[in-house]
Amino acid sequence: MRPADLLTCKQEGRPIAVLTAWDALSAALVEEAGADAILVGDSLAMVVLGHATTLPVTLEEMVMHTRAVGRGLQRPANQQPLIITDLPFLSYQCGLDQAVAAAGQVLKNSPAAAVKLEGGEPETLAVVDRLVRSGIPVMGHLGLTPQSVHRLGYRRQAKDPISQERLKRSARDLQAAGCFALVLEHVPAELAGALSQELQIPVIGIGAGEECDGQVRVTADLLGLTAKQPPFCPPLLQGRELCVDALRGWVGGLQPAPPTTPTTPAAPHYSEPSPLDH
Ligand code: KIV
């Protein structure tokens, strides 16, 4: 899959499935499940690195995890899901050249073919424009943007008509700046549905209703592996409980080692004379 193939999916009315992965094991599962694209999301900061927010993850860590994801894929290269990697907090907000260098580092040093970044402010639009003109495909992300947690919280976004209009404008601007797709997180379903109708690029929803061109989920949430799931991502199974129960059964089933019968050491045929013998 290439970024442009997602547009074909939208044009042909085929729903786009995007799942996150963070290492070779999760990537293999997601590929086998048939996802069109793998997002190496900066949610890995919380899901696998144990941070309280996505802010601390570094560009180097994102590259390292993306390389591991690439190693987990088994299909021939032209049949593999598209890999999109999140640009982490402050890797693209400190100037256009730095943003190009950060995105370039991802594309040069990992199998990612696209990056994702959050927001639709004029500064972000300038970054998207510059990246796209440098040959780097960019996915946008609006609504609940976890890198702005200290400003917006983890709350549902765009609840009133004014903020809905603002979000619509940002979505149009991101499309005009060259984004090949747009993630909408935790926004009203009607808004996401309307934007999916209006925009040419695919709208990929999470907590944004059923009427998007595609859906993205944090795989660990979907499998019920994380301790706390977001309200808009009900798990498909109680993965954490299943795993802990299975492991507890194994731990509890360990048997004490059978007692060993003491063996008398064989008498040596010949012993060196000890200096004490004299
Ligand atoms: O980091 C991530 O996993 C994401 C998804 C929630 C879209 O950005």
Whether 118 is a known active-site residue: answer no
Q: Tens of pLDDT along the chain (278 residues)?
A: 999 999 999 999 999 999 999 999 999 999 999 999 999 999 999 999 999 999 999 999 999 999 999 999 999 999 999 999 999 999 999 999 999 999 999 999 999 999 999 999 999 999 999 999 999 999 999 999 999 999 999 999 999 999 999 999 999 999 999 999 999 999 999 999 999 999 999 999 999 999 999 999 999 999 999 988 888 899 999 999 999 999 999 999 999 988 887 776 666 665 555 555 54
Residue 183 has phi, psi (to 5 degrees) of -90, 135
* Ligand 1 proximity of 41 Cβ (cutoff 6 Å): yes
Tokens 């591991």, residue located? 68
- Round to whole Å and give the CA distance between 128 and 81: 23
Between the CA of 218 and the centroid of ligand 1 the distance, in Å, is 6
What's the CA-to-centroid distance between 208 and ligand 1, angstroms? Answer: 13
Per-residue three-class SS string for 148-183: HHHHHCCCCCCCCHHHHHHHHHHHHHHHHHCCCEEE
Nearest CA to ligand 1 atom 1: 41
Catalytic position from the list 118, 165, 185, 211: 185
Q: Which of 206, 223, 232 to mutate to test the pocket of ligand 1 (most atoms within 8 A of CB)?
A: 206
Residue 161: CB partners within 8 Å, gap ≥ 6? none
Do the beta carbons of residue 174 and residue 140 sit within 8 Å? yes
- Ligand 1 pocket residue status of 91, Cβ below 6 Å: no
Cα 162 to middle of ligand 1, angstroms = 25
Q: Does residue 42 line the site of ligand 1, with CB under 6 A?
A: yes
Ligand 1 atom index nearest CA of 20: 3
First to last CA, the chain: 86
The protein residue with its alpha carbon nearest to ligand 1, atom 4, reads: 41
Tokens 């786009």, residue located: 16
Q: What is the pTM of this model?
A: 0.92
Both structure tokens of 71: 């190693």
C-alpha dihedral, 49 to 50 to 56 to 59, nearest 10°: 10
Closest CA to 182 of 201, 159, 165, 198: 201
Protein residue whose Cα sits closest to atom 6 of ligand 1: 218
What CATH number should be reported for the domain whose range is 3-240? 3.20.20.60
